[in-house]
Structure 1
């Protein structure tokens, strides 16, 4: 299974005129891939996803699946190949979870929507895989955001497609739910050999949890493993600012400030975690780290932290107190 986007232009048609959002898009995805689509607001991420699904027309270029143009598939056939989870709110708040998931069988049930035995099996199996079976009889309006997102993924899974596309599936979720959803999507890609593509603004999830990034900005369109795009510096194109740079050690963008204060750090313990946390805090507070012992000397000890500035010493039990004291010494 392979999805190919070849020199595509995406956008929309308004009053008969083509409104181009993004051109020269060439990307691909293979069976078992989990892919994060990254890009700035307004660059056309949602438009691209909706174009693949078939909700919006392809303006130029080609989208192929298994060497066939997607236009060669009938709408019903394509709906058995690709399923979609949008950011739209559910418009039937009184429907039960079971009924919502059952809607995923629409390509197979005909216009009457009557579930056959095999449809019921697929609906139940999808709900159990996603972890929503235990509240199948609850109304969708009574669920948390994380539970609703699981229900919509279960509906897409019940559709029994080879490609699963999601637009911002972790938006508005708390941190545990974000990662639960991503681990679920990774499981679908790995164990069920689906192509899973999702857009996101969550850079940490995108760079630490996926196989491939689709990186689309106003200037470029590239793809590769997160580390590939870090190596080529293409990842830097996400933010064009002299106040933000990509730190390859942290694997994230960090703010840039000129340090007007420097501290020499000595670790008198075997606790590497304490050293990492202290140096991280110093960077966050825009305090430079130096080897010059004539500056402020910070000694990490088992019982706490000792600051020495000229002939003055202070002792601190926590990092918050430590950082506040460093700035006080600067102003002294």
Structure 2
């Protein structure tokens, strides 16, 4: 990196604001010097910059961690000579002085059809401004050329990383024409102010509520009545099985079908213990006889 020495083509009184002048005087341009420097821009008025510069079209705010916002930089050559080797230098001044050089992601387009954007690397100055020059050695970008009396519009896009704090930022562009190891300060833009908004917090998915239990479930039957009904159903099954001796005996797993009220019959529950269908049916029949006897005793009393 080399410090680019600056020559001011206009009186120092035009250096406003002061932070922008300091940043422009300390800008770093690392591209190799041209073998034959191009002619210098010369303003017709000693109190005006030869390249009128204007930032426009940018959004009012950027979301940290969000996408790019696009804006434009107009370079108007007010002279009768071609201005070549022009390098805009963007200066970012944030209110909180918390913006880090790696947080702004700034890229510019050189106007070449199909060309990818050029990244801008920021440096921090002693006055806590971030300064980034439009230069790219990788793609051998040597600056813009603006014809006499013409305006060149440079497309720029900016994004902020997710760790950027909420802030208010002012962007300016100083325009430098490079000559070998030094250069001329030939333009200065208007202010472009924008906010940095915090990345929205990720809201957790609402927990699914447990299904409410139905209040219309039928009341459970008394144990004696339930046992009697289950035994009757089991006895009916026994009669049906004895009528068809040629049919193979079902295994225990196949006989465990729920009763219409949603409960397993007592025979099915006994069969599930591994006692076998014969023992289960015998136990059910015994229970049926016992239940009938108990009912007769109660009626006689």
Q: Same fold (TM over 0.5)?
A: no
TM-score (norm 2): 0.20
Greater RCO structure (CA 8 Å; 6+ sep): 2
